[in-house]
């Protein structure tokens, strides 16, 4: 009969318990309703100081991504012909943008015309 030693079982149980605790704690800060477009979240449209604050890049104080047309941007954003083509948050009124931003008509990239977007 093969013998089994319980000598290493306790450290392994602690290891797995610690791992489970870390997973629970990491998940506690996440939910399906987290807003990726809030200030300092890193998502497109979020306020930023530099590229490290964003998942992509920081231009004009907000996180943006490269684009050639509106289809490259998420809903609620448009591709504008600035900085080589970038996604910007569309707005409908002067108060539709956060502090320090204005709702300005800007030339679109990849199509004719312009669209009002939040700009500094």
Sequential pLDDT tens for the chain (120 residues): 555 555 555 554 544 444 443 333 333 333 333 344 444 467 888 888 999 999 899 998 899 999 999 999 999 999 999 999 999 999 988 778 888 889 999 999 999 999 999 988
Contact indicator for 103, 117 with CB cutoff of 8 Å: yes
> What is residue 120's predicted lDDT score, i.e. its pLDDT?
85
User: What is the model's pTM?
Assistant: 0.63
pLDDT at position 16, please? 42
Tell the residue number behind the tokens 């392994």, with chain if given.
Answer: 12
Domain boundaries, the chain: 51-119
pLDDT at residue 24, as a whole number: 35
Query: What does the angle CA 110 – CA 113 – CA 115 come to, to the nearest 5 degrees?
Result: 95
3-class SS at 109? coil
């Amino acid at each position: 009969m093969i013998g089994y030693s319980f000598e290493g079982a306790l450290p392994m149980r602690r290891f797995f318990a610690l791992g489970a605790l870390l997973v629970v704690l990491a998940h506690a800060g996440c939910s399906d309703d987290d807003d990726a477009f809030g200030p300092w979240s890193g998502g497109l449209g979020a306020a930023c100081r530099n590229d490290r604050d964003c998942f992509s890049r920081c231009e004009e104080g907000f996180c943006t991504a490269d684009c050639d047309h509106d289809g490259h941007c998420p809903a609620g954003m448009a591709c504008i012909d600035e900085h080589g083509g970038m996604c910007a948050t569309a707005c409908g009124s002067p108060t539709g943008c956060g502090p320090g931003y204005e709702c300005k008509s800007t030339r679109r990239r990849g199509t004719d015309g312009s669209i009002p977007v939040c700009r500094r």
